[in-house]
């Protein structure tokens, strides 16, 4: 148990550091790509350095049911892949500046009912890093979770590396539990709003600062003798103005 409590989650990866809020479909594509790369890492019949770290861009072929067996909406996944093409990741350090898109292209064959997407070889080292990180959780399970939970699993996957974002595992769990509990009191009839807000905060890496604000509001509620639910309008305002949350 002591080993678990001392576990540090590290998030050095350019992808997990990204401030983007991925849609459900985008996140499913992202995690499926990681799953495919993880499958390659477990194989011994090909050259890892050549395939995963070479100069050739990486192609993935799949059917929609492999990502989501219940999904039948091609338009939604077309949009997800188009949106992923528009997202870019930037590295700017002492050694180099790099700006790379997540997906080079996406193609769907109507006759074969198969998708093809290509990942830049420049992005592959970071994708491989994430694939290696999933040592405690099964990607098949993660693919069935909601977007907020998937983002948390992405954080947990990075505990083997040293990076910018660090938080103790038990602290992250407690912060998430506390925020969820307080938001349930504040918005008992608007759980969709609360869930979306949690997802936004997780994606923006702002869960802990928001939790600190909630604690101060809870203290204020007790000091003034007012019900916590009466501060719901204030929390909505804080979420929008200080944490850039848009519920539209």
Interior CA angle at 11 toward 6 and 12, to 5°?
Answer: 125
- Cα separation, 169 vs 131, whole angstroms: 19
Percent of the chain with pLDDT over 90: 25
Contact 35, 62 (CB under 8 A): no
Band of residue 155 on the pLDDT scale cut at 50, 70, 90: low
DSSP three-state, residue 225:
coil
Average pLDDT of the residues of the chain: 75
Contact 158, 16 (CB under 8 A): yes
- Cα separation, 1 vs 66, whole angstroms: 36
pLDDT digits (tens, 9 = 90+) for 82-107: 998 888 877 777 888 888 888 999 99
Burial of 112 (0-12, 13-18, 19+ CB in 10 A): exposed
Task: Domain ranges for the chain, please list them.
Answer: 7-163, 169-241
Least confident of 13-22, 41-50, 194-203: 13-22
Contact 21, 244 (CB under 8 A): no
Q: Give the residue, 136 or 243, on which the prediction is more confident.
A: 243
State residue 138's pLDDT score.
47
Q: Indicate the helix (H) or strand (E) that contains 119.
A: strand 114-119
- Residue 49 exposure: Cα atoms within 13 Å on the Cβ side: 0
User: Which of 98-102, 137-141, 143-147: highest mean pLDDT?
Assistant: 98-102
User: What is the topology classification, in CATH, of domain 7-163?
Assistant: Arc Repressor Mutant, subunit A (1.10.10)
117: phi then psi, degrees, rounded to nearest 5: -130, 150
Contact 172, 155 (CB under 8 A): yes
- Cα separation, 102 vs 81, whole angstroms: 9
Helix H segments across the chain?
Answer: 2-5, 24-41, 48-53, 64-67, 74-86, 124-133, 139-142, 147-156, 169-186, 191-203, 207-224, 232-241
- Cα separation, 205 vs 133, whole angstroms: 19
- Cα separation, 230 vs 211, whole angstroms: 18
Is this model's pTM higher than 0.85 or not? Answer: no
Residue (of 80, 125, 73) closest to 106 by Cα position: 80
Q: Give, as one character, the DSSP assignment of residue 166.
A: E
């Amino acid at each position: 148990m002591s080993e678990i409590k001392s576990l540090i989650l590290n998030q050095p990866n350019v992808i997990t550091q990204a401030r983007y809020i991925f849609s459900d479909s985008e996140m499913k594509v992202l995690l499926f790509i990681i799953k495919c790369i993880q499958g390659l890492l477990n194989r011994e019949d090909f050259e890892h350095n050549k395939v995963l770290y070479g100069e050739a861009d990486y192609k993935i072929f799949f059917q929609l049911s492999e990502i989501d067996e219940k999904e039948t909406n091609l338009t939604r996944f077309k949009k997800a892949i188009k949106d992923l093409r528009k997202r870019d990741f930037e590295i700017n350090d002492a050694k180099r500046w790099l700006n790379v898109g997540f997906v080079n292209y996406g193609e769907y064959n109507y006759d074969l009912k198969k998708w093809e997407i290509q990942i830049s070889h420049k992005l592959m080292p970071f994708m491989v890093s994430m694939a290696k990180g999933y040592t405690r959780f099964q990607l098949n399970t993660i693919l069935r979770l909601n977007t907020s939970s998937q983002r948390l699993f992405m954080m947990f996957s990075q505990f083997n590396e040293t990076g910018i974002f660090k938080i103790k595992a038990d602290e992250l769990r407690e912060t998430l539990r506390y925020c969820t509990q307080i938001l349930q009191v504040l918005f008992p009839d608007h759980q969709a709003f609360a869930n979306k807000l949690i997802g936004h905060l997780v994606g923006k890496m702002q869960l802990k600062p928001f939790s600190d604000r909630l604690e101060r509001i809870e203290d204020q509620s007790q000091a003034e003798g007012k019900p916590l639910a009466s501060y719901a309008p204030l929390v909505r305002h804080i979420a929008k103005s200080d944490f850039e949350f848009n519920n539209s």
